[in-house]
A and B are shown apart, each in its own frame.
Chain A
Amino acid sequence: MNENGAVEAEVRVRYAETDAQGVVYYANYFVWFEVGRMTYMRQRGWPYTEMERHGIGFMIVEATCRYQAPARFDDQIVIRTWVDEVRRRSFGFAYEVLNKATGERLATGRTVQVFVDGEGKPIPIPAQVRSLLGE
């Protein structure tokens, strides 16, 4: 799986997401990444709710972001999401955040997830969801 398998999601910047500098607060990009990965999963046929019904979840164990340009209130934002790495017990989502009107790249980021069972214990990546991850 690579960037060619990217799924796009759109959000419009809410006032609540901005801060005193007039730009989107840095932590909020991680909420957008979540919108991105949930959209990705739904489009790949494994909505997160469906996974939970199967007694499977995942937890984020690492997150990174590089901020390149600010987003402002009412901007239309595109979040591109793809799976960039699959290991035995973890996998990575990569994200790109763009300003829809200008195409300018605002941020790139990555999260690493591990699968957990219903009790929250780490488990190897379940076979039935490997297809979700592009395998």
Chain B
Amino acid sequence: MSDKPVVESTLRVRYVETDAMGVVHHSNYLAWFEVGRGEYMQQMGGSYAEFEEQGFYLPVSELDARFVAPARYWDLVTVRTSVAELRSRRVTFYYEVVMADSGQVLVTGHTRHICTDKQGRVRAIPKEVRALLEGKAR
């Protein structure tokens, strides 16, 4: 086990997230990833909203996900979020979505983000945000 911070967010599956197969549509897990990384930044002592107020953005440049088992309406699920890789201009988050009660893994995935300014130019991630992503700002 690494000592990297892992932040947990728990949410309940809404009907709007399900599809005709009776399970959560795969695209909706990706919105849960967003819940996970938003909560990660919050718990590390900052927030993505503040980051944008400072004129920086973290658009998603790459995504991968593996769908292991389905979630269904009203299931309580936990998103575990950590930082898998941190470079000067980009950050990769890692996510595990598990059933809150049994811990069964439903989905795992990564999102890679590049740091840009408002004009979309690639920028170095500011020092204080790096510290936050590393869990050193708390």
Residues of A within 8 A of B (CB): 21, 23, 25-28, 30-31, 34, 57, 59-67, 70, 120
Contacts and interface: CB of A to CB of B under 8 A. Distances in A.
A79 B66 CA distance: 22
Nearest to B57: A21
B57 A63 contact: no
B62 A60 contact: no
A62 B27 CA distance: 11
Interface string B25-60: 011101100100000000000000000000001011
A65 B27 CA distance: 12
A62 B62 contact: no
Contact of A62 (B34, B60, B67): B67
B88 interface: no
A26 B26 contact: no
B59 A67 contact: yes
A63 B67 contact: yes
A63 B28 CA distance: 12
Nearest to A48: B20
A67 B59 CA distance: 9
A30 B27 CA distance: 6
A26 B67 contact: no
Contacts of B70: 59
Contacts of A63: 26, 63-65, 67
A27 B65 contact: no
Contacts of B28: 27
Contacts of A61: 66-68
17 contacts: A21-B57, A21-B59, A23-B59, A25-B31, A26-B30, A26-B59, A26-B63, A27-B30, A61-B67, A61-B68, A63-B67, A64-B65, A65-B63, A66-B61, A67-B60, A67-B61, A67-B62
